[in-house]
């Protein structure tokens, strides 16, 4: 264990000691099983493999300066998974089961929670898949829910540092009434080519407009977007983006800091009026945006000329992280402390 270089972890998978699993069979969830095996036995005709009946979540546990371990907004992740379940016809996982399995798997892998000073955290990845063999396009009758954990560093190199994005007009990640609001694998499959091409062209990430009109801002890769102007935090309202729990938290914190908050459609041209812009998510935390290029329209929106995050983004970042690490009172009751 002493060989883990905590401060230089990337956002990737590392084997830990245990995962936890629970099977849904005959209309009910079974007992929680603790497992040290990394692979899963799966029928080759399982609905998850053929028809994308698969959902996941992402949350983090952090070692805090007071010696405690805090998990951020666990109930919100459970609720979003339930919404995804309704969206793609899977049985809802009860919040209490989600909570028990999350606490159990973090506790079992406590030695993999990075130390506070490293800036790294323990990423918790719940996964729910349809396991019934099926050739017709129907929901499965049997499911496997599992949670694994892995220590991770920042999603983007450099952590709280500016990134450049490119608007992709050639690809849509999700349709207006499609599955973009759910955390299902298909949305990420739809993003792989756009992401690859953005990297090839020298950008940190791709940036999506709404699929129907290509007029409004949707999301930044696997993170929500926010823009700031006139002491106002502005974030897209769209039927095709994931309801980010980090964004929801930032809207609250922006209000707490005395900012106005607007959640509404944001036309692309409005990008030119923002003083600051950022991407937010569990993996990204806040990743400030230096610029967004729209090569096909011959436009470029610049938010940082010196590569440094703006003052409001910095304040929001510091406030969010202080709460996540127990350095500020958790007035909204967002953290679960591991006993
Ligand atoms: N948007 C997408 C497409 C994501 O995959 C994520 C990551 O979970 C987010 C936004 C951010 O959501 P959250 O803040 O809940 O992690
Ligand atoms: C997250 O922010 O938790 C994500 O899910 C992003 C990505 C790794 C899918």
Mean pLDDT across 117-134: 97
- pLDDT tens-digit map of 13-42: 999 999 999 999 999 999 999 999 999 999
Which are the contacts of 62, defined by CB distance < 8 A and separation ≥ 6?
69, 70, 71, 72, 113, 116, 121, 122, 324, 325
Structure confidence at residue 190 (pLDDT): 97
| pLDDT band with cut points at 50, 70 and 90 for residue 3 | confident
Assess whether pLDDT exceeds 90 at residue 305: no
Structure confidence at residue 157 (pLDDT): 76
| pLDDT band with cut points at 50, 70 and 90 for residue 130 | very high
Tell me which residue of 128, 147, 124, 117 sits closest to 73, measured CA to CA: 124
| Domains of the chain from N-terminus onward | 6-152 (3.30.470.10), 163-324 (3.20.10.10)
- Decide: 71 and 147 in contact? Cβ < 8 Å: no
> 209 has which bridge partners?
217
For residue 248, the ligand 1 atom closest to its alpha carbon is: 14
- pLDDT tens-digit map of 169-182: 999 999 999 999 99
Round to whole Å and give the CA distance between 329 and 6.
27
Mean pLDDT across 67-86: 98
Q: Is the CB of 236 under 6 A from ligand 1?
A: no
Round to whole Å and give the CA distance between 89 and 52.
11
CA angle 213, 215, 216 (to 5 degrees): 115
User: Atom 11 (ligand 1): residue with closest C-alpha?
Assistant: 281
Assess whether pLDDT exceeds 60 at residue 316: yes
| pLDDT band with cut points at 50, 70 and 90 for residue 1 | low
| pLDDT band with cut points at 50, 70 and 90 for residue 80 | very high
First and final C-alpha spacing in the chain: 23
Mean pLDDT across 53-59: 98
Structure confidence at residue 2 (pLDDT): 56
Q: Is the CB of 219 under 6 A from ligand 1?
A: yes
Q: What percent of the chain has pLDDT over 70?
A: 99
Tell me which residue of 1, 241, 16, 217 sits closest to 115, measured CA to CA: 1
- Decide: 215 and 209 in contact? Cβ < 8 Å: yes
- pLDDT tens-digit map of 251-274: 999 999 999 999 999 999 999 999
CA of 324 to the centre of ligand 1 (A): 17
Mean pLDDT across 238-263: 98
User: Atom 5 (ligand 2): residue with closest C-alpha?
Assistant: 58
- Decide: 236 and 181 in contact? Cβ < 8 Å: no
Structure confidence at residue 213 (pLDDT): 97
Q: Which of 57, 58, 124, 324 to mutate to test the pocket of ligand 2 (most atoms within 8 A of CB)?
A: 58
Round to whole Å and give the CA distance between 152 and 204.
18
Chain mean pLDDT for the chain: 96
Q: Write out residues with Cβ below 6 Å of ligand 2.
A: 58, 222, 281-283
pTM higher than the cut 0.85: yes
- pLDDT tens-digit map of 179-232: 999 999 999 999 999 999 999 999 999 999 999 999 999 999 999 999 999 999
Rounded to 5 degrees, φ, ψ at 245 are -75, -30
Strands 163-168 and 205-209: parallel
Mean pLDDT across 121-130: 98
| pLDDT band with cut points at 50, 70 and 90 for residue 287 | very high
């Amino acid at each position: 264990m002493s060989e883990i270089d905590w401060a230089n972890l990337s956002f990737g998978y590392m084997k830990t000691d245990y995962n936890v699993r629970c099977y849904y069979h005959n209309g009910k969830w079974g007992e929680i099983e603790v497992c040290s095996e990394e692979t899963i036995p799966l029928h080759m005709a399982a609905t998850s493999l053929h028809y994308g009946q698969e959902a996941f979540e992402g949350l983090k546990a952090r070692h805090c300066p007071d010696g405690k371990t805090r998990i951020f907004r666990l109930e919100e992740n459970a609720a979003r998974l339930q919404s995804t379940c309704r969206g793609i016809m899977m049985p809802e996982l009860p919040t209490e089961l989600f909570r028990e399995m999350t606490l159990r798997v973090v506790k079992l892998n406590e030695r993999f929670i990075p130390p506070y000073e490293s800036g790294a955290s323990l990423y918790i990845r719940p996964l729910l898949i349809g396991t019934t063999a099926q050739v017709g396009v129907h929901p499965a009758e049997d499911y496997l829910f599992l949670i694994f954990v892995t220590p991770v560093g920042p999603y983007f190199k450099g952590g709280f540092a500016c990134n450049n994005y490119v608007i992709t007009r050639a690809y849509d990640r999700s349709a207006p009434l499609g599955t973009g609001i759910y955390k299902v694998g298909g949305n990420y499959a739809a993003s792989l080519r756009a992401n690859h091409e953005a990297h090839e062209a020298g950008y940190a990430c791709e940036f999506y407009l709404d699929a129907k009109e290509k007029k409004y801002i949707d999301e930044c890769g696997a993170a929500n977007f926010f823009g700031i102007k006139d002491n106002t935090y502005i974030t897209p309202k769209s039927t095709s983006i994931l309801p980010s729990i980090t964004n929801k938290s930032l809207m609250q914190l922006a209000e707490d800091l005395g900012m106005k908050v607007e959640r509404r459609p944001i036309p692309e041209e409005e990008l030119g009026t923002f003083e600051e812009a950022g991407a937010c998510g569990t993996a990204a935390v806040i990743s400030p945006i230096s610029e967004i290029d729209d090569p096909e329209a011959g436009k470029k929106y610049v938010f940082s000329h010196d590569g440094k995050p703006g003052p409001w983004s910095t304040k929001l970042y510091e406030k969010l992280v202080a709460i996540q690490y127990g350095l500020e009172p958790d007035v909204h009751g967002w953290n679960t402390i591991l006993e």
